[in-house]
Structure 1
Amino acid sequence: MSFYTSLSGLKASQTDLSTISNNVSNAGSVGFKRSRAVFGDLFAAAPTQSTKTVAGQGVRLNGITQQFSQGTLESTGRTLDIAIAGEGFFVVRGAPPRSETSFTRNGVFGTNSDREVIDTLGNKVQLLPVDANGNVTSTAIGSMFDFEIPDVDPADPTAVLANITIAKDGLVTATFANGNTLNLGSLAMSSFANSEGLRPIGDAHWQATGESGDPQLNGAGQGSIGEVRSGLLERANVDLTEELVSLIGAQRNFQANAQAIETANTLTQTIINLQV
């Protein structure tokens, strides 16, 4: 039994090491959220058996949870580099025919050949409709539309685009050479009842699950969603000092469980070699 108990400890330590290593390797990834392995003890006894005379049976992995704490904001000076100061997520949509909706903290956005704003995976950034005053008019999922940057003023085709600005509340405004301005929409943002229940799909992107709850859309600055910061990016929330200390602890746990297996093997071998 001691072999299997220590084996479960070895597997747990290996998972812990893998989780910490993943955190360290992604310390430079934009919008990355560190993970933590959560373990629980294994114990079993018959209803009529006294638990005072029963040892535990090892450890098991309860889950690997992501920690959605705020990362440090780093200035880039690029308009389409956008960070979130809060708990929200950008909403992006994949290409047809699946057009899957996902949520990201990675605000490294650019444009494609159709002047559509896309993320690092090629998903299209979504906007919510606004009125003339820049107020969001609908937060329904069906009201979202692709973020497209116009090249000329719709009211004056001779006036080319001068610049794009993104306010803290997510309002996107285009300014043209003739001085006219146009509100393109507000960045679609989402929050969740349980962010830890989101399913990671890589590159600081997640998908909603039954555990996370349905996405709650709104504009930036509403509730816990937080504000957006144009010209900044959110660094990974990984503290290398903390991770390295945890790495040492996980390594010691692995070594201790390996030593326990070696000790059990020595005792078993001694019993087998006993001569009557």
Structure 2
Amino acid sequence: MTFFTAISGLNAASKNLAVTGNNIANANTTGFKQSRAEFADVYASSVGGVSKTQPGTGVRVTNVAQQFSQGNINATGNNLDLAISGEGFFSLGTDATSDQPSIYTRSGEFKLDKDGYVVNNQGNFLMAFKPNGTTVADGFSSGVFQPLRVNAEQGSPVASSALAVSANLQSTQTTPVSSPVDPTNPDSYNHESSMTIYDSQGNSHIASTYYVSQSPGTPNTWEAYLFIDGKPFNVDGSLATLPLDGSQTSITMTFDTAGKLTAPLGQTSYGAIASTDIDPNLNVDDLAFSVDFTGTTQFSSVFSVNNLAQDGLPAGNLTGISVSDEGIVFARFSNGGSTPLGKVALSRFANPQGLTKLGDSTWAQSADSGERVPGEPGKGSFGTVQSGSVEASNVDLSEQLVNLIIGQQAYQANAQSISTENTITQAILNIR
């Protein structure tokens, strides 16, 4: 029986060396999790149980358990490379029609396939939660999985809806000698500011505001007149009378004695402006926007524009992909806009060591792992996602080399047990 005890030791030591060798071989494998061989002693039992003088009949390997500790996160510079910092697995589907993940991994080496889907090196599809709309504020459906896809369509234009102007209107200015306001006559206004705005098709237009001082008749008061592409518009959105006759309505701006704006405060809305009033050949949605003059002052210093801003966008081409720490994947466009394509779906398990090993640094759910728990990066116990990085293997080479020495000694010791047992057996057989 001693031979078989030593043989079990050889088998166990061999398995331990194989596990250690596999760890060493995968020291540079992205997302790899090291394993350890776990052993248990073996006793021959009988009806009466194991005798207290029973020496044991060897050892057996009970489990090769993977260790899901965090690996180092290494920067790669590739935006589609992803690393999880904390708990969770990337969720993968096997084809473009998958509506539930079936494969899980910590390896975040992703790329685009010929159809624009985000896949790993084995062609499995990265699953994401479906966006509810076109902005992050619309949220994501955390129960609706879909393969993440990047399309090369143009970024849709966005009509301007909010304008902001901050300027200093020179307090020493007086009412112009000419009226009404005429962009071609600098003597009909005191100051002017312009910005580019966009309609529903992404066409650009120049929105100009002409400021007219009411001093000395009405001190600390200015009138602001709106022109779009050189056409005058009233506050209600209608086209002012042409030729200009002084009936164009304006926004009245008042300041206190310290030169701070007292009215209007916040946003002032213009009525809907018909595109055909701007250009008879233009057929787009009516322009409807507000203007916010917050920050505008009336000081004695020369006129200056401190801020011009608007929220419209022209059409744009896809320029890149970015991923936030919360796992939101954005398509970035040349017009400065961005569209959320989805939110990377993570999964966790009550017992990760119970997952079925599939190879390629991937796993599948099993009865031992427990049911998959889906979640979003950075929420609850789920880790965050780092773009442009991958998680390295968690193998410690120094530790594995020490384990290699220990495993070798165990193997040699069991081999010596067999050699010793053989010598004893020979001695017994040679007795005459």
**TM-score w.r.t. structure 2 length?**
0.60
Task: Give the Cα separation in 2 of the matches to 1:269 and 1:188.
Answer: 66
For residues 202-254 of structure 1, give each alpha carbon's deviation from its aligned partner in whole angstroms, at most 9, with x where no partner exists.
Answer: 12111111110111111111222200000111110000000000110000000
SS in 2 for 1:51: coil
Task: Flag the structure with higher helix content.
Answer: 1
For residues 84-115 of structure 1, give each alpha carbon's deviation from its aligned partner in whole angstroms, at most 9, with x where no partner exists.
Answer: 10121111111379997201111010011111
Q: Report the CA distance between 1:39 and its aligned residue.
A: 0.2
- Alignment match, 1:257: 414
For residues 94-139 of structure 1, give each alpha carbon's deviation from its aligned partner in whole angstroms, at most 9, with x where no partner exists.
Answer: 1379997201111010011111111010011111023433575433
- Alignment match, 1:117: 118
Q: Given residue 86 of structure 2, which amino acid in structure 1 is its aligned partner?
A: G
Within the candidate set 357, 360, 379, 1:203 is matched to 360
Contact 2:10 2:414 in 1 (8 A): yes
For residues 4-55 of structure 1, give each alpha carbon's deviation from its aligned partner in whole angstroms, at most 9, with x where no partner exists.
Answer: 0000000000000000000000000000000000000001333547723211
SS in 1 for 2:22: helix
Change (3 A) 1:210 1:255: same
Q: Given residue 95 of structure 2, which amino acid in structure 1 is its aligned partner?
A: A
- Alignment match, 1:159: 316
SS in 1 for 2:379: coil
Map residues 1-276 of structure 1 onto 2, 5 A cutoff.
1-48=1-48, 51-95=51-95, 101-131=102-132, 132-133=135-136, 137-140=140-143, 143-153=144-154, 155-156=156-157, 159-275=316-432
Give the share of equivalent positions with the same residue, in percent: 39
Q: Report the CA distance between 1:176 and its aligned residue.
A: 1.2
The runs of 4+ residues in structure 1 deviating greater than 4 Å are 96-100
Q: Report the CA distance between 1:171 and its aligned residue.
A: 0.7
Q: Report the CA distance between 1:159 and its aligned residue.
A: 2.0
Unaligned runs of 5+ in 2: 158-200, 202-314
Change (3 A) 1:49 1:67: closer
SS in 2 for 1:15: helix
Range moving further from structure 2, 250-259 or 100-109: 100-109
Contact 1:124 1:147 in 2 (8 A): yes
CA radius of gyration, larger in: 2
SS in 1 for 2:136: coil
Contact 1:188 1:219 in 2 (8 A): yes
For residues 155-178 of structure 1, give each alpha carbon's deviation from its aligned partner in whole angstroms, at most 9, with x where no partner exists.
Answer: 359521122110111011112112
Contact 2:131 2:138 in 1 (8 A): yes
Task: Give the Cα separation in 1 of the matches to 2:87 and 2:96.
Answer: 29
Range moving further from structure 2, 24-33 or 195-204: 195-204
Task: Give the Cα separation in 1 of the matches to 2:106 and 2:76.
Answer: 16
The two structures, once aligned, show a CA RMSD in angstroms of 1.9
Contact 1:152 1:176 in 2 (8 A): no
Q: Given residue 33 of structure 1, which amino acid in structure 2 is its aligned partner?
A: K
Unaligned runs of 5+ in 1: none
Change (3 A) 1:225 1:258: same
Task: Give the Cα separation in 2 of the matches to 1:152 and 1:96.
Answer: 19
Name the count of aligned residue pairs: 273
Change (3 A) 1:48 1:176: closer
